[in-house]
Structures are given as structure tokens and as C-alpha cells.
Amino acid sequence: MGDDVRYPVPGNRPRIELVISRSRFVATAGRVASADDVRCLLTEVRAEMPGATHHAYAFRIGFGNTAREGVSDDGEPSGTAGAPMLAVLRGRAIGDVMVVVTRFYGGVKLGTGGLVRAYSDAARGVLNELSLTEKVLSCTLRIELPYRLYEPVKLMLLEHEANVISEDFAEQVTVTASIPQNNLASLTALLADSSAGKVVPVMLDGDWS
């Protein structure tokens, strides 16, 4: 597992406005973790500013080299809006992020270079207003164990930043917990060592990679 199990993501949805040669550029940034999130954010921005000329955007879902990316020039000359905004996003250590720049045409053509600068500046400006929080990719485990291992295992879970979801006390103890994926291998090894290989967690969601 790589560093992409923990990464910074947007914690708010800021908006800024630039006026360049009489055109208004309104930039909105937000958190997106799926294609549905991308569509929802774009739909909301379009609904808020229905009279705009363009709603160009760029997004990155995930983090680092494995992020899924997308852009749209929304009618601007090809490569003058979405791609420059994506270049700005790639230069920031932020995951699950989307920027929509809404343009109200002011009657003065900016040219290719002017558009690239305008959309880039708008993207940089709104990202500067972004607050960040941390996203931790996790998985859910079910662990069945004898009563004698209950307290040691609870301590292991605490040390591995796990969140206990439920506990069931029957012939054995069954613990369901959510744990950061980057702590999974260590916890699994400790459980095996403490039980001579008899306690093996069952993955309920997530993956073992």
C-alpha cells in the first residue's frame, strides 16, 4: 500500500471572483470522490449561475499518480480552460478535488493565452481559499477470538487506530471494527502471532492490497 491511503482533501467549498477585460470568472472548489459527485457539483454551479457563458472544470479523484482526472472546456477553445486548471490541481497536494470556473463573457476576446492565464489564475485563487482535512482509506473487519485474547486484541485495535463498530459475546467474542488500510498488515500479523495463527480477520469491505 502506498501513501494514497491517507491524503488531504477539501474541507470547505470556497468561491472567488475575478474580472478580466470585462469578463467575470467565478471559481468554485469542492470535494468530489466519485463521478456522481462531479456531476452533482457541476449541476449545482450551473443552477446557481444559469446565465453564464461557460462552466469549465477540472477534477482529480484519488491522490497522487493513481488519481482519476477529467476536464471540460465547455465551449471555450480546446485546451484553454480545463487543461490549465488541471495543471494547477496537479501542482497541489490535494485529492478528491474539483474546480469549476464559470465565465460571464464581457464582450472582449481574451485570446488563447489570455484564456489560459484567466482560468489558471481563477483556479489558483480558489484553491488558496480551500481548507483541508485528511481522508483515511479504511476497511471493515470481523474478528472472532477466544475470551482470553479479548483484552489484548482491544489494545491492538487501539494501537492501530481502529474504530470498534460492534462486539458480540457468545461462545467466542466477535469484534467488528474499521481500521485504516495502511495499518491492516501490521494488525493481521500481530493477531496471527498472538493466537498461533488461529485468529484471522475477515474482510467485510475494502481490500488487502
The full set of domains in the chain, from first to last, is 3-134 (3.30.230.30), 137-205 (3.30.70.240)
CA distance 19 to 100: 16
| pLDDT tens string 142-152 | 999 999 999 99
Whether the CB-CB separation of 71 and 57 falls below 8 Å is answered with: yes
Q: Which of 19-23, 28-32, 101-105, 135-139 has the lowest mean pLDDT?
A: 135-139
Burial per residue of 59-78, b for 16 or more beta-carbon CB atoms within 10 angstroms, e otherwise: bbbbbeeebeeebbbbebee
Q: What's the chain's average pLDDT?
A: 94
Q: Which amino acid is at 32?
A: V
Distance from C-alpha of 120 to C-alpha of 108, rounded to nearest angstrom: 18
3 confidence band (pLDDT: 50, 70, 90) = low
Q: What pTM was computed for the model?
A: 0.75
Q: Which amino acid is at 53?
A: T
Per-residue model confidence (pLDDT) at position 104: 98
**Which helix or strand (DSSP H or E) is residue 166 part of?**
strand 163-169
Q: Cα separation of 129 and 123, whole Å?
A: 10
> What confidence tens digit (pLDDT) does each residue in 70-100 have?
999 999 999 999 999 999 999 999 999 999 9
How do residues 18-44 score in pLDDT, each as one tens digit? 999 999 999 999 999 999 999 999 999
Q: What are phi and psi of 36, to 5 degrees?
A: -65, -40
Do 62 and 136 form a contact (C-beta atoms < 8 A)?
no
